[in-house]
Every structure is written in structure tokens, then in C-alpha cells.
Amino acid sequence: DNDVLVIEDASDGFAKKKVTVASLPSGGSGGFPNWQTYTPTWTGSSTNPSIGGGTLTGKYLQVGSTAFVVVEMVAGTGTNFGSGEWFFSLPVEAADLTAVGPALAWDVGTLKHEGIAWLFDTETVQCTNRSNGADWGSGVPFTWNAANGDLLRFSIMYETV
């Protein structure tokens, strides 16, 4: 029975205890759901970027009302970085704006920049420099270069509606 957890420990005198637990969607390892893929929408505050020959991927895992999301943008030939601050769509709407997560911007061959991914609204994530609070976009935290394969990656966990 997938809804029953049996706890057994003869060493402390306890008999078998039968505890009913909430069902989780099955499919993944240990009965947890599998990661799902999605294609994030990437927008700019002034002009929208376009991925061109790069890659923009997203994956998420939803367990009950909690979503775990990972997004990666790798610039490639023809990537246009748009203008202004960047935003990435979520696969599942957030219940509130309290979640934050780690973010990485890699100026390939030069520096890695630490950032914070945060919920801009219930459907969108924005990344910000950890050191100075500047929102990431076409010129922040560095001048992005498609030829180098510069990349941005973030993860965030949040409560869903």
C-alpha cells in the first residue's frame, strides 16, 4: 500500500506502528515525481532578448504545493541580449513573493558572478547581483558575449498556488 508507512523497531519495545501518509505522485526515484522540462519565456524591460543559436532550458519538480525550478541560458551564435533588465517565466504560479534562490552569471573565460534569483511577481523570476543589488540584464553584471557562450543559471524553490 503506497499510503502506509510501517515503523518497526524491536529494540525499544515498540510494536509495529501503521501510519497513514499523504500520497505523492509516483514516477521518480523513491516514489517522488520526475523532473519536468519547460521552456522559460525570456523577456527584457525595454527590448526582449532572443536565444538564437544558444539554449534556454528549464526544468521543475513539483511536490504538493512546492515547486523546485532550475533555468539555464547559454548564449550562442545569434543570441540577442535585448535591452534592460531580464525576466524569466515560471512553470507554475507562485503563491506569494517570498522565495529567493542562488544565481550564477558566467562571463566565460573571465569571471563568475554570484547573484540572487527572486520572485519579481507570481509568474516571473529576476536575478540581481549579490554584491551591489544591480538587476541582471543586457549589460549587467557584464557585457554578455554570445561568441564566448556566456551563461546564466538559477534555481529557486517556492510555494505554488
Task: Report pLDDT for 28.
Answer: 60
Residue at 98: amino acid letter: T
Distance CA 16, CA 38 (A): 43
- Mean pLDDT of all residues in 24-48: 83
pLDDT digits (tens, 9 = 90+) for 81-120: 999 999 999 999 999 999 999 999 999 999 999 999 999 9
Q: pLDDT tier at 65 (50, 70, 90 boundaries)?
A: very high
- Residue 93's alpha-carbon distances to 37, 39, 125, in angstroms, are 16, 15, 11
